[in-house]
Each structure stands twice: as C-alpha cells, then as structure tokens.
Structure 1
Amino acid sequence: MSHSGVGNVSVPGSARSAEVLGVLGVLDAGVCLVDERGTITQVNACAERLLGRGAADLVGWDAHELLHRDRHGRPLARARCQMVEAVLARRAQAGSSWCERGDRSLVELSWFVAPCGGVGGPAGTVLVFTAADQGPDRTHPPHAPESLLVELERLALLAETTTQLTSTLDSDEALRRLVRLVVPKIADWAVIDLITEADEVERVTVVHCEDGAFVAHEDLQGPMPPIPEESPMPLSRALRGAASTLATPHTYQGPPDSGIAIEQKRLFEATGMVSAAIAPIRGLRDVLGALTLGRSADREPLTGADLSLLEDITRRTGLALDNARLYQRQRKVAETMQRHLLPQLPSVPGLQMAARYVPAPDDSQVGGDWYDAFTVADGATALVIGDVVGHDLDAAAGMAQVRSMFRAYAWTHHEPPSAIVHRLDGSMAHLTGVPMATLVFGSLAQTADSAWQLTWTNAGHPPPLLVTHDGQARYLTEGHGLLLSTGLEWTRTDASLLLPPRSTLVLYTDGLVESRDRPIDSGLEQLRKHAASLAHRPLAAFTDLLLERARPTTGSNEDDIAVLTVRTPEIQSAAGGDL
C-alpha cells in the first residue's frame, strides 16, 4: 500500500471513492473508510501516523473495538460511543473521542463523519479526524467541520450518482435512479424533460416525495411545446443548452413568451414549488433535455450552491443517457437482424407448424438461438432447432453461417440426419468462427399408409418433447450425441418414431427450461407437465401458453428462447405409432 496522498484511500470497484477522497487528499487529517458494520476498509497515511498503526494493523478490524477508549484507557461501551451511533444511523456528526495508539498510549481525536454510498450500492462512512490539540476549540476539528461535512455529503452524492447511473443501460431505469438520488435529499420535486430523436420535447417525469413515498403526477407529464429559439426563460434556455438557472413562481408571472413558459407556470401552480433549480442535461454531442429540482415552502429556497451541485449531477446524467441510447440503438439493430435471420415456416399439407423467438431482455437482444423448417429435395420436411454459444452479434452471425451450411447439406445430400450433422460438424471448424453449438435435426416424412415418421439425431441439445392428444408427454432421448465443433471424433446415430395422430412435437432451446435459479431437470419436468395440460389447445395457443408458463418463474428469460412446434393431422392409418 502506498503512503502518499490519497492514493491509500479507495473503495474497490466504485467510482465513489475517487471523487469523495479526491478532495480529502489535500487535508492534513486522518481519513478512514468504514463499512456499514463499522469495519475499517481503507486508511490514509495521516491516519496511520495519528493512530500509530500501519494500514495492515487497521484494515479489517472493527474500528470501535480496536481504537475507542475512555479517558482512562478502558474499553468504551458501544452504547456510550457517539461515533458508533453516528455510523449506524448514517448521519453526519462531529465530536471527539479518546483512541488507543499502536503503542497503547492514548490520543484525543476530534472527528467528523459523513455517510457514503447506499442507494443501491454498498453503504459506508467516511471518518475524518485530527488531534484535538491542533485547534483552539478542543471539542471540534480545526478545519470548519460543518462546511467539510457538507462537501463530503456532496461528493458522496455525486459519486453515488455516477455509480448508479452508469451501472444500467436502460434509460428509463437510469432516470428512476436519478429521482431517488435527489428526492428528497436535495428537493421535494424532480421534473425531467427530454428531447426526443424527432427533436420534440417530452416531459417524462414529474415526481413528488410524500410521506417517504414517490408519487408520479402523470397529469403534468406528456408532450411539451417546441423549444423557442430566443426565449430568456429558464427552461427554454436549459433545453437549448445555454445555462442553468434558479427560478420561482414569480419568474413565470409575466406574459408568457412561449408555450413552454405556459407549461412552466402551470407546473409551479400545480406543485406548489416556491423555488427551483433548472439545468440542461448535455450529452457528448447534443442537449438531451433538462432537469428541474423544486422545493416546497417548508424548506429553505434553493441557492447557487445547489445549482452548482445540480450541474454536476446533470453532467453525469447526460453521460448515462448517451450510453443508454447508444446501447438501445445497437440493440434495436441487433434484434432486427435476428428477426430477419429467422425463417418463414413452410406450408406442408397435413402438418401444422408454429414457431416463437424471445430474446433475452438483459443482453443485446440477439444471440445464437435459431430454428428452421423447410422441404428438402426428396419431399421430406426438415426440422431443426439449434443454439450457437454466445449472446451477441458474433453469435448471431455464427448462427447464420451454421444455418446456411446446414440448409445446403440437407438439400444436396439425401442422407440420414446423423450423416448430415456429421458433415456439418466436420466443416464448422474450417468454415465458421463458431466455437461450439448444439442442435436437433429431424426429418419428417409420410409413409405409404399416410403415417408421419420422424427420424432425428441430437447433437448435445435438450431432447425433443412429444405430446399426444390425450395428454401423455415424454422426451425423445434416443439418438443423443456430442455437441458440435468439439474437434472430437464421434459416431452419430439416428432414432425413428411413427408419430401418433394429433400429436405435437416440441423443439426448444435451453432458455425455456434453465436459469440461474432453476436447474435444467426441474425446468424439463415443468415443460413436460405444462405441455401435457395444453395438449387439446390449438397449436398457436399451445405454443404461446407453453412459452408463457414454462419460462422461469421470474416471468422473464435470462437466455434467448426459440420454440418450434409441429402437429400431425387427425386422420392416420392404424399403423400410427404409440408413445
């Protein structure tokens, strides 16, 4: 650990430390960071000197048990320790305490603490202290503790704003977090106006804190008039990126110069705000909108110092929104690409088919899950479901390569499914960049007596599910082999079955049956039960309801999901097979 400046003091993995402790590096004072339990997590060099202990003898120890004593050197009860009380209550407070140095001598320290973190991140406290005899007043630190406490709280808030807003790529979620960071800590009201891609203004948020709860006032939200080019009014200037301004109801009492001024007057009247600070939200290239913070009559009016803090917050907000919008544009492109890569199902006399694709909501909405169905040269219907490893554009591109190669082999080679998959496996390493993939390939053909026979092979994929019309369901585990692109020699086998009349074949990817909270065995059993219960439903309804009910209990999938269902006709010969 370095012993120079503030380099000793950091909160690992958080932008919070760099900002909170940057200002403390210029202080001739000891600095400790403690977590929510009171354990020391970092110290600076001055703290080591004042306490007569090296960082290794401080970090990881309970600050109270290690250091705090009464004036006679006896351990101090936690209930009598003002610093412990302030840390646990997460409030800013100043005081003085006796501490035991490394050589067991006592030193009286003047200290002040300020909470740091929380609001979705790890909670902690910054402790700043000096020797009590450094200042003329032995009960307080000599460096204006009240003003430093305010600065600590400000920096902690800015650091937490950075952490919270940059840790999500969902712009709506970022704005929700922003509101909870500033209300009610800074203001009673938060109003967010955004400029859309069509260069229109939308008031997306009007939130008030009432009795500790956040209340959205949707009647004050919605589309706004266009931005006037020359208006000197605060919100108009902010939306042009011109300046940050303080405002009161009196600001909008004169004749309005624009539609936005009328809406602002209505806002003040409806909310009862008596002071407001309005600042532009600037992205890297454009003005993205404006943030308005307002206070009611029972609080001190907002000041220039609050305006400076608001400008720091909106700079961070602009960066977060820029990142979120870029991500969402990329995600839309990726999802469009994925949709175009998925095929139209063929029309095969006697067969019903349905397919669904659901992207993973928390990733890039594009991945390697795919399905395909097409008629090959000998008249059979090829059915395939597959999964290329990955959840990004590379996986989607790899999936497109594998699907194209598979179609070519299936069309040109009149061979059993296992032989086609063997050819595909041998080519993937040389012709694609796909690291690994799984698939089930089935060939469905009518026999001479009009029955439907399925012949399939499985390359490391979850097994197909067959559901009869009377509600019996079982997995087709035969024909199972090694996944693709392993480089290992493997003899693939085929399995064959005559499908009963009105039976439903379900091909799916693992996102339907597996998640972090649910093992695949449990997911497979749930899928089987739900499929059996839906056996009498029309195929489209069967597929939709199965997808809805069999997905993880959280109601959203962590992985992409592809589902392909096929139903045989009602009339078959007696040769039709049984489950």
Structure 2
Amino acid sequence: MDGTDRITDRAPEAVFLHAVLQDLGAGVITVDASGLITFVNPWAEHLLGRPRERMLGRDAHDLLHRRHDGGAVPRGQCSMRAPLRGGGSAELGSEEYLLRADGTTVPIIWSTTPLRVAGRGTGMVTVFHDFSLQREAEERAAAHTAALEALTGRLNLVADVSALLMSTVDASGMGHRLLRLLVPRMGDWAALDLYAAGSWEGERIVVRATRDGERPVALEAPVPSLPEEGRRPMERLMSGDEPVRTTAEELAADPDAPLAATHRVLFDRLGGRSAVVVPLRARQRSFGMLTVARAGSAPPHSDAEITLLSDIGRRTGMAMDNIRLYHEQRSVAETMQRQLLAPLPQVGRLRMAARYLPAQSAMEIGGDWYDAFRLSDGVTALVIGDVVGHDRQAAAHMAEVRNMLRALAWDHQEPPSVIMRRLDEAVTHTSDAPMATLVFARVEGGEGGPWQLHWVTAGHPPPLLVTAEGDTRFLTGGHGPLIGMSAVLHLGLSWPDAYEDLPPESTLLLYTDGLVESRGRSIDLGLARLRHHAAVLTRRTAGRTVDDFCDELLARIDPGGDDVALLALRMPAAGAGAPGDASPPPPPQSPHSPAAPDRAAPGSTREHPEVRDPTRAARRGGPTWE
C-alpha cells in the first residue's frame, strides 16, 4: 500500500489536498524544522530535474539554493529559511536560484510559509515557479527600454546639435557650444581643430569634463604646426568621409602616425585612452577635425556612437560651409552697400554726418539712401530717399533713382519742384524701379549766412529742424506724391517748392521711415519720440559734434527691423566764414561715413563759384532761375 492509499483511508479532505499538490502547476517542497525535505510534488521534480527519492531527507538549502552563477549561498543569508529561524510570517521573493540536477540554475519566484501541526511549528512549505520566461521577458524589455533611451538620447543630441548649428554664424562660438553638448555625453573631452582656407594654421578649441558636477572647461590654442612630411597623411584623413579610431597607446608607440603630431599632445595633457576623429567636410571643402575622447575605465565608442559622431561631423561641416557662404555674401553685400552710399563733401563751415543701419537680414542691403553733393551753381544738395523693397534688387533700383537725381540736379539749374517732375518722368519711362519716397533740398546762402533751405518732399517723412536752443519743428511744406506714382497714374500732381530759414548753429535731420516707424510703433509716435530725443540731446550736448549727435540719437531711439538712413547738417555760427571773420573754424568734418573709405565725395575736386545770396528773392517767391 503506497502513501496515496494511506491518505485515501484516512480522510476525504486529505485525498483532495494530496490531489491538489500533485497536480498544482507550481513546485511545492516541504521541510521539517531542521530544513530536511519531507515532501516534493511532481512539478517540483520537473522544474528541478530531480526525482523525489533523491531529494527526500536531504537538506533543502545545501542541495538546492544557489546564486545565479551556481555559487553557494551562505546559510545565514538565506532569505528562504526565515520561517525556520523563528519568523512567524510568510516570505516571498523573485531573486533566488535553485540548482537543477544537470548543474544549471533556474530563477524562481517563490513563497515560504511556516508549517504548523496542532499549533506547533513543524517546518515550512515552499511554493515556487520557474521565473526564467518572465526574467527573460523583463531583460528583453529592459534591453529594449535601454536601447530606446539610448536612441532617444542620440536623437536629442542630434536635435540639440542641429538647433545650435542653425542658430549662429560665428564658427568659434559655435565650436565652444558644440563641444559643451558633446562633453560629457559622448566623451571626457572633445576638441575642434578649425583650419583656415588653404592653410595649415588655425585654432583649436578644447572642452574637458570636470569633477563634482562642475561645468566643462573650455580651452583655446593655435592648432599645432605640422611638419611637411605629416601634411599629406593629414590631407588624406581630412578629405575622407569616414571617422578614424585612435588610442593614446598607438600614438605614443608610433610618432610618425598621421595623428601623432596633432593629437598626442591632447592625450598627454588631458589624459584618455581612446578617441574618435571625425573629418569636417562639406561641398568638397575641408574645415578641420572633431575629436571626442574617453578616459579611465570607459569603453571605446561603440559603432552606434561612432555613426552618431560621424553624422554630427557632417552636420558641423555643412554648418561651417554655410557660415563661409554667409560671410562671403555679407562681404559682397557690405561692399555693394558702401559703394552705393555716398561720401559726404566738405562745404565751407557746414558740417554733415550720415549713418546707415541695414535691416536685420544677412544681406544687409536695401533701398534706403542718403546723398549730399555740390551742384554746378555752388549750392549744396541734400537727399534722403527710400525705394520700395529690402533686397539687392531694391538697392539696384535705389542706385538708378539716385544717379538720375544727381544728373538732373547737376544739369538743370531749376527749382527742386521742377527737378522732382523731371525725375518722376525719367523713373517712369526709363527705369523699372518701383515707387520711391524722397526729400530733395538745396542749402542756399553765402559764406557767413544767412542760410535757407529750399526743398520738396515726395511722400517722405518731413525733415526735422532743431535750433541751438533745442526748439524743434518738422518742415511739413513742399509735400507732393511719391516718385513713380503721378506719371504712371496720369494724376497731374506736382511738388510745391518750400522755403525755411536755417538758424545759426541749428541742426537739420533728414531720415527714412525706419527711424520713426516699426511694427510695434506707429509713425506718429515715432515722430514724437524723434522730436523729443533730438530736443533733449541738443540741450544736453551743446558744443558736441554732429557725429556725436547722430550716434546718441540712434542709441536712444534704437530702431530695429527696417533699414535706416540718417543725414544731419549742422549750420555754422552767425557770420562764421564771412569776409573779415577771424573766429576759428569748427572741428573738421568727421571722416566717419558708411560709404567706402577710398571714395571721394562727388564734386569734391571741382572748384565751385560762390553762390549769390538768394534770401531776398526767396521771400518774394523764390530765386530767379536762369
């Protein structure tokens, strides 16, 4: 009679319990108070690969409990024996391993419960499951999570690098910020070697990680010079598209290695064991190298990390080339701008100053302009204008309109109103320039004064007259239509001549609408601010030059967004320069000008006759024109 028959004879409950234990889909082992195995169900035999007969009566801990590597677990550290050591409660866990008959270990999720008979502790029961499938699933999930986190980190780094590369046109500043993104995320230190075009000279930027959570430290130095024999290998390296692995040991062992001359000093000073060197190239141009190194026990860069650094290198090379193109275009634009803007003539004791602030764009060129030149009758002409547009085409149209006006004003000794009509017809019929606004003025008067302004305005903001005492008024007379509008629309409009006395030591301001109008400010408010600041500056800066006046005025108003052209004329003191006047002349006119410095003012080499005093004739309705 076996154990089952005995249980069957004893009680139906025992039969039921035995059947449950036999068919339970979990391993069940019971031990007595000394830890010897007293019962093993079939599922435990299956999980452990051991027959019940070879386990009964054996010490469960010594026979079965192991570490994950198969090593023995000290009895005092066995958490599964807690109920035998007087623990009155159940225990459970999932970080234990049992030894199979074939010498392998199986991870288990387990629970132990004290076993009591008639209120007396007689041992414990252990229920366990094979946790390998769940463990593998957890490990796979953890691996996938780690891979996703690594991928997310790489994508975030690429996004940060891309945002940086698109946000700056300063190669050195970009280099500093780029290396701070890479250290310590990709290495313990990183270096950027930037070479000048067609040269082995350049700058080296290095950022190294620091301890205790400090920010990475940036260093700068010239790129180490290369001997002649080392340049050819470096050319091949930088002209390639693939990154290069190197180690401190390799560079120390082979002083003739391509990177030894440039990189051994980095390892000597910064430490490190391995590095990746990425060439910076774009559009068949080489700009230098990016080096990212690891020190200490950190492993060399993985293939995925090298692929990432290679991508960052390509993006950096493209950004470097874009910076090159930007600066080339900016240089061309600046040259064009300076050639289009006029140098200021020196006329007796009159003092002039001009400023040009380009729109906030890469090309820095537009349709605003100022002009000042001597006419054939000896009068000084002043012009401020704005052709529709903010690009190179607008600048070209501006040059057309400016040159037409110069030619007409020089060739025809006529009132400004007539010159404006001629210009309107010429622009309409001989040019594709769009409409333009401008002020054309003649500064009339003999040496010593009095002086008078004779002008017309073609749809442009009015000139501002500021007296020496700080009184201000806009000269709103002489207003007519925009250039290119009347003739095209056959409106028959005209430009009335206007006259205004220019007091001694007063300042006349001609400006474009960018000074007084912006998206966040109406032109009326802008005109009020201009008038206020001009008055305050005149009172506070008495005796200062007209150049100082222009600079401080622009600093106070701080225009932004649109082009700004500003032309200022400072009148001499009463009687200054007249025959017999012994007063010293004012300081020489400043050479500062937005125009190219090697250009002479128009008409500056020609001797002009003195102009007659037109004041009386002007008061009778204007001067007599021959």
Query: What TM-score, normalized to structure 1?
Result: 0.66
Q: Is the 8 A contact 2:246 2:275 kept in 1?
A: yes
C-alpha change, 1:223 and 1:545, in structure 2 (3 Å) is farther
Q: Is the 8 A contact 1:374 1:383 kept in 2?
A: yes
C-alpha change, 1:136 and 1:301, in structure 2 (3 Å) is closer
1: CA distance between counterparts of 2:433 and 2:208?
52
In structure 2, the partner of 1:477 is 476
2: CA distance between counterparts of 1:281 and 1:227?
21
In structure 1, the partner of 2:534 is 531
Q: Deviations over 1:101-126 (max 9, x none)?
A: xxxxxxxxxxxxxxxxxxxxxxxxxx
1:408 aligned partner, one-letter code: A
Q: Deviations over 1:350-387 (max 9, x none)?
A: 31122222334533022222111111122221100112
- Deviation of 1:480 after TM superposition, in Å, equals 3.1
Q: Is the 8 A contact 2:224 2:261 kept in 1?
A: no
1:392 aligned partner, one-letter code: D
2:395 counterpart SS class: helix
2: CA distance between counterparts of 1:270 and 1:523?
58
1:564 aligned partner, one-letter code: L
1:83-482 counterparts in 2 under 5 A? 137=137, 144-158=144-158, 161-162=161-162, 164-166=164-166, 171-172=171-172, 174-175=174-175, 178-179=178-179, 181-208=181-208, 211=213, 213=215, 215-218=217-220, 221-226=221-226, 230=230, 238-241=237-240, 243-254=242-253, 256-257=255-256, 261-297=260-296, 300-446=299-445, 450-482=449-481
C-alpha change, 1:238 and 1:471, in structure 2 (3 Å) is farther
In structure 2, the partner of 1:570 is 573
Q: Is 508-517 or 369-378 further displaced after alignment?
A: 508-517
Q: Is 317-326 or 403-412 further displaced after alignment?
A: 317-326
Q: Deviations over 1:401-460 (max 9, x none)?
A: 111111111112233223322322233233233223221111111069831100122223
1:178 counterpart SS class: helix
2: CA distance between counterparts of 1:531 and 1:336?
31
- Deviation of 1:227 after TM superposition, in Å, equals 7.2
User: Is 1:511–2:514 an aligned residue pair?
Assistant: yes
1: CA distance between counterparts of 2:434 and 2:344?
28
Q: Deviations over 1:76-134 (max 9, x none)?
A: xxxxxxxxxxxxxxxxxxxxxxxxxxxxxxxxxxxxxxxxxxxxxxxxxxxxxxxxx9x
> Percent same amino acid among aligned pairs?
45
C-alpha change, 1:470 and 1:509, in structure 2 (3 Å) is same
- Deviation of 1:193 after TM superposition, in Å, equals 1.4
- Deviation of 1:140 after TM superposition, in Å, equals 6.7
2:384 counterpart SS class: strand
In structure 1, the partner of 2:503 is 500
Query: What TM-score, normalized to structure 2?
Result: 0.62
1: CA distance between counterparts of 2:468 and 2:529?
18
Q: Is the 8 A contact 1:249 1:275 kept in 2?
A: yes
- Deviation of 1:465 after TM superposition, in Å, equals 1.9
Q: Is 273-282 or 395-404 further displaced after alignment?
A: 273-282
2: CA distance between counterparts of 1:298 and 1:546?
61
1:225 aligned partner, one-letter code: S
1: CA distance between counterparts of 2:166 and 2:512?
32
Q: Is 383-392 or 480-489 further displaced after alignment?
A: 480-489
1:137 counterpart SS class: helix
Q: Is the 8 A contact 1:276 1:294 kept in 2?
A: yes
In structure 1, the partner of 2:3 is none
C-alpha change, 1:150 and 1:435, in structure 2 (3 Å) is same
Q: Deviations over 1:472-527 (max 9, x none)?
A: 23332333333333444333223211101011112222333344455444443443
Q: Deviations over 1:220-253 (max 9, x none)?
A: x2344147554798x7764343742233433443
2:510 aligned partner, one-letter code: L
- Deviation of 1:296 after TM superposition, in Å, equals 4.7
C-alpha change, 1:391 and 1:297, in structure 2 (3 Å) is farther
C-alpha change, 1:213 and 1:409, in structure 2 (3 Å) is farther
Q: Is the 8 A contact 1:168 1:174 kept in 2?
A: yes
Structure 1: give runs of 5+ residues left out of the alignment: 1-132
C-alpha change, 1:563 and 1:330, in structure 2 (3 Å) is same
In structure 2, the partner of 1:89 is none
Q: Is the 8 A contact 1:193 1:201 kept in 2?
A: no
Q: Is the 8 A contact 1:389 1:435 kept in 2?
A: yes
1: CA distance between counterparts of 2:463 and 2:241?
62
Structure 2: give runs of 5+ residues left out of the alignment: 1-132, 577-614, 619-626
Query: Which has the bigger relative contact order, CA under 8 A and spacing at least 6?
Result: 2
2: CA distance between counterparts of 1:465 and 1:228?
65
1: CA distance between counterparts of 2:260 and 2:460?
62
1:314 aligned partner, one-letter code: G
Q: Is 306-315 or 222-231 further displaced after alignment?
A: 222-231
2:426 aligned partner, one-letter code: S
2: CA distance between counterparts of 1:262 and 1:389?
57
- Deviation of 1:566 after TM superposition, in Å, equals 1.1
C-alpha change, 1:472 and 1:262, in structure 2 (3 Å) is farther
Q: Is the 8 A contact 2:478 2:496 kept in 1?
A: yes
1:565 aligned partner, one-letter code: A
1:313 aligned partner, one-letter code: I
User: Is 1:559–2:582 an aligned residue pair?
Assistant: no
C-alpha change, 1:417 and 1:150, in structure 2 (3 Å) is same
In structure 2, the partner of 1:59 is none
Q: Deviations over 1:273-326 (max 9, x none)?
A: 444221000111121211112345475543333222111111122222222211
1: CA distance between counterparts of 2:276 and 2:230?
20
In structure 1, the partner of 2:494 is 491
2: CA distance between counterparts of 1:172 and 1:391?
30
Q: Is 381-390 or 268-277 further displaced after alignment?
A: 268-277
1:217 counterpart SS class: strand
1: CA distance between counterparts of 2:145 and 2:557?
59
2:137 counterpart SS class: coil
Q: Is 237-246 or 387-396 further displaced after alignment?
A: 237-246
1: CA distance between counterparts of 2:280 and 2:518?
38
Q: Deviations over 1:160-184 (max 9, x none)?
A: 5445534655545654553454344
2: CA distance between counterparts of 1:406 and 1:521?
29
2: CA distance between counterparts of 1:476 and 1:223?
60
2:219 aligned partner, one-letter code: H
Q: Is the 8 A contact 1:363 1:391 kept in 2?
A: no
- Deviation of 1:347 after TM superposition, in Å, equals 2.4
Q: CA RMSD in A?
A: 3.7
2:442 counterpart SS class: strand
